[in-house]
């Protein structure tokens, strides 16, 4: 942190202490023009090294508070950088589109932990819809929304054009589960439904990975008014990092 050392009126650096303000901040007086002022504290921008570390940590299951402590930065600066970073996440999640792919689909409950009830949002459950390319293991699309047909439509829309035209989609579960939503949205000739989870084990496993890497981000972001927005963005960020690690 560095402080401003010149007078806001005349630019002179010749200032002396002159008591304190009502709020307890030290007041200064310019010896050249007699102007009284409070030094404004400003921060140096985060260094490239610091940004790199923060980026790596955001892709792990490390609490945001912990990142602030380790990197010795204030929370609002972390959030500002986080937003900058999340805005740079590509729409396609950095996945490479394959020809005639086999895609596994899953519709998973994003755990809403106890914090939801504290903010009176216990009813606001969000379901994560994921599509994972079986060959590359990359996540080709994700959607956060409700559990029914609308959620399935969201996932369908999020899929790259090539997948919508050519891919075969696999879902699994008991009939009373949500496969009906897929049926309503995914073309019958491209959709395979199995009662066993044999055909969706990669995506099921990936969902565990995601939970391990993302849950704390989700929990902490709840204390913010735009929580759903950050919730989705943080998932997209982790998924994109995962996809990039699989690029060849
Ligand atoms: Zn002055």
Q: Which CATH number fits domain 102-246: 3.40.1400, 3.30.420, 3.30.160, 3.40.50?
A: 3.30.420
Q: Are 112 and 127 in contact (CB under 8 A)?
A: no
Weakly modelled stretches of the chain, pLDDT under 50: 1-2, 111-120, 216-217, 219-225
* pLDDT the model gives residue 225: 42
Tokens 């009126």 — which residue? 9
* CA 41 – CA 228 distance, rounded (Å): 32
pLDDT at res. 118? 34
DSSP H or E run through 69: helix 64-71
Site of tokens 């949205």: 185
pLDDT at 42: 67
Tell me, in angstroms, the distance from the centre of ligand 1 to residue 96's CA: 60
Q: Cα of 13 to ligand 1 centre, how many Å?
A: 8
pLDDT of residue 179: 64
Whole-number Å distance, alpha carbon 5 to ligand 1 midpoint, is 11
Q: What is the pLDDT of residue 123?
A: 60
In this predicted structure, what is the pLDDT of residue 111?
A: 44
Q: Who contacts 248 (Cβ-Cβ below 8 Å, separation ≥6)?
A: none
Task: Give 29 Cα–ligand 1 centroid separation in angstroms.
Answer: 8
Q: Which residues lie across from 172 on neighbouring strands?
A: 194
pLDDT for 117 equals 33
CA distance 61 to 57: 8
pLDDT in tens, 117-138: 333 355 666 778 888 888 888 8
Distance 21 CA to ligand 1 centre (A): 18
**Do residues 106 and 130 touch, judged by C-beta distance below 8 A?**
yes
* Ligand 1 center from residue 3 Cα (angstroms): 16
pLDDT at 246: 85
User: What pTM does this model have?
Assistant: 0.74
* CB-based contact 8:37 (threshold 8 Å): yes
Q: What ranges do the domains of the chain cover? A: 2-42, 49-87, 102-246
Distance 11 CA to ligand 1 centre (A): 6
| Gap from CA of 39 to ligand 1 centroid (Å) | 13
Phi, psi angle pair for 52, to nearest 5°: -65, -45
Residue 222 pLDDT: 45
Distance from Cα 37 to the centre of ligand 1, integer Å: 9
Distance 41 CA to ligand 1 centre (A): 18
């Amino acid at each position: 942190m560095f402080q401003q050392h010149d007078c806001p009126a005349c630019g002179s650096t010749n200032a002396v202490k002159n008591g304190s303000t009502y709020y307890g901040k030290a007041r200064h007086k310019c010896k050249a023009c007699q102007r009284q002022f409070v030094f404004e504290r400003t921060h140096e921008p985060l260094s490239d090294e610091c940004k790199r570390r923060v980026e790596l940590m955001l892709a792990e299951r490390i609490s945001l508070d912990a990142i602030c402590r380790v990197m010795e930065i204030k929370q609002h600066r972390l959030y500002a950088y986080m937003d900058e970073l999340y805005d740079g996440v590509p729409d396609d999640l950095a996945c490479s589109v394959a020809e005639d792919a086999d895609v596994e689909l899953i519709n998973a409950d994003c755990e809403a932990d106890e914090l939801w009830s504290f903010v009176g949002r216990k009813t606001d459950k969000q379901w994560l819809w994921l599509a994972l390319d079986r060959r590359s293991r990359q996540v080709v699309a994700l959607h956060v929304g409700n559990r029914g047909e609308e959620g399935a439509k969201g996932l369908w829309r999020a899929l790259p054009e090539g997948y919508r035209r050519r891919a075969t989609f696999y879902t699994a579960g008991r009939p009373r589960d949500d496969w009906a939503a897929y049926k309503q949205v995914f073309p019958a000739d491209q959709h395979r439904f199995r009662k066993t989870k044999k055909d969706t084990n990669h995506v099921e496993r990936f969902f565990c990975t995601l939970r391990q890497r993302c849950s704390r981000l989700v929990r902490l972001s709840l204390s913010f008014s735009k929580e759903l927005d950050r919730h989705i963005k943080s998932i997209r960020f982790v998924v994109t990092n995962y996809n990039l690690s699989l690029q060849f």
